[in-house]
Structure 1
Amino acid sequence: MHRSKLEKLTDYVTGEAVAWLLKQNAPVSGASLANRLSAMAAKETNRDRQQALALALAEVRTELPSARAVAEPPRRSGSESVSAGAKKH
């Protein structure tokens, strides 16, 4: 099976997030993983990694119910602004 560069990078950034949680002795859950991926995405400047982080976050939210309540990371473009309460149910 051939995986794309983006799929491989998505797995890599997910692993980075999990490794960070483990190193911090933080609980590893859908919510904590989504929070870490979101924090990573907010600081990332590399477009490929931004894309991979967005995909990883989407996958985590799809597969892990506790991750669905975590807010989207802020957009870096400045042209799109989402209010803090926009994602609340």
Structure 2
Amino acid sequence: MSDFFLSVEEQRSFERDLLEFQSECALPVYFIEKPSTKRLFARMPQYGLPSRKELGDRILKTIAETAEQASNANLRERQEETGGRVNFL
């Protein structure tokens, strides 16, 4: 085991990248449990590979909430700029 530890923020960033990788490659959530995936990540011991349950539950929820908050903030900003006017055309 490596003596190198990630901060909580670095681990979360890695998990976000991993989830994006899974999504962009259209991989099923169980790819994380495959022996080949585990062998690949065994070469990078500083990263804690999450379970498929964590990937599809906690990590996905956290990232989805963050994306929703960013989207809502962007929408509020646009509404304030335009006075709430909307053009659907």
TM-score grouping bracket, smaller chain normalisation: 0.3 to 0.5
TM-score normalised to structure 1 length: 0.36
TM-score normalised to structure 2 length: 0.36
Higher helix share: 2
Q: Which has the larger radius of gyration?
A: 2
